[in-house]
Chain A
């Protein structure tokens, strides 16, 4: 059974940093792309970024709103993907989800989602 479990959320002051983790199980983690998606309270979904797999050199993509402040990394030996968030702003307050992305027709589609972890940026 595919499972994704996010952790590391909490309350942080503006300008602060936080590192989220997503622990995966039930599939061969190293072969998959992984995304981070967030949802501000009462709002819609916002794609944050993507980590490609080893075959694609672990390269990453980011939304403009977080580029330069957030960094996605992964450790295939621990079946985990991470989201390092620096210079946090109040508008980064959201539930953060990680997703597993499966390959179909040359494109990676987010097919499993974790339960999310809440990040609150406030003084």
Chain B
């Protein structure tokens, strides 16, 4: 099975900050990676798929990059509505593993 390691697991930031979250895969997964945002008590929402393709309707301050084993999700200027948990998921092989998550909180 492929393992995904997200870092950091917790992040404290201010509105307007540039935020970067990393997801490392235990083996190469090309660009078969998605990123989700989950707000407290709500279902996850797809932000990015294929490592860097922005889902329709997602603000352009979100971006994704990477291939192989290292991936990043960047929020260029953190907004109040971005305080949430973020998860990566590999879609290359079964089981379709998720990373452990990164919680972004207000500093």
Neighbour of B91 across the interface among A37, A45, A107, A114, CB < 8 A = A107
Neighbour of A111 across the interface among B38, B46, B96, CB < 8 A = B46
* Minimal beta-carbon separation of B52 from chain A (angstroms): 12
Are B94 and A113 interface neighbours, CB within 8 A? no
Asked if B104 lies at the interface with its beta carbon under 8 angstroms from chain A, I say no
- Point out the residues of chain B lying under 8 angstroms from A113, CB to CB: 43-46
Are B46 and A105 interface neighbours, CB within 8 A? no
Residues of B51-70 contacting chain A, CB below 8 A: 53, 55
Are A97 and B94 interface neighbours, CB within 8 A? no
Residues of A57-83 contacting chain B, CB below 8 A: 61-64
Are A109 and B98 interface neighbours, CB within 8 A? no
- How many A-B contacts if CB must be within 8 Å? 59
The residue in chain B whose Cβ has the minimal distance to the Cβ of A64 is B95
B side interface size, CB within 8 A = 26
Asked if B22 lies at the interface with its beta carbon under 8 angstroms from chain A, I say no
B interface secondary structure, majority: loop
Neighbour of B32 across the interface among A46, A107, A114, A116, CB < 8 A = A107
The residue in chain A whose Cβ has the minimal distance to the Cβ of B87 is A45
* Minimal beta-carbon separation of A106 from chain B (angstroms): 10
A interface secondary structure, majority: strand
Query: What are the interface flags for A95-120 relative to B under an 8 Å C-beta threshold, 1 for contact and 0 otherwise?
Result: 00100000011011111111110000
Distance in angstroms between the alpha carbons of A37 and B99 in the assembled complex:
13
Are B44 and A109 interface neighbours, CB within 8 A? no
Are B101 and A47 interface neighbours, CB within 8 A? no
Asked if B89 lies at the interface with its beta carbon under 8 angstroms from chain A, I say yes
Asked if B50 lies at the interface with its beta carbon under 8 angstroms from chain A, I say yes
Residues of A at the B interface (CB closer than 8 Å) are: 35, 37, 44-47, 50, 61-64, 97, 104-105, 107-116
- The 13 sampled A-B contact pairs (Cβ below 8 Å) are A44-B101, A45-B44, A47-B98, A64-B95, A104-B49, A105-B50, A109-B50, A110-B89, A111-B49, A111-B55, A114-B43, A115-B42, A115-B43
- Enumerate the 7 nearest inter-chain pairs by beta-carbon distance, A residue then B residue, closest first: A113-B43, A45-B98, A47-B96, A109-B49, A44-B101, A63-B95, A61-B94
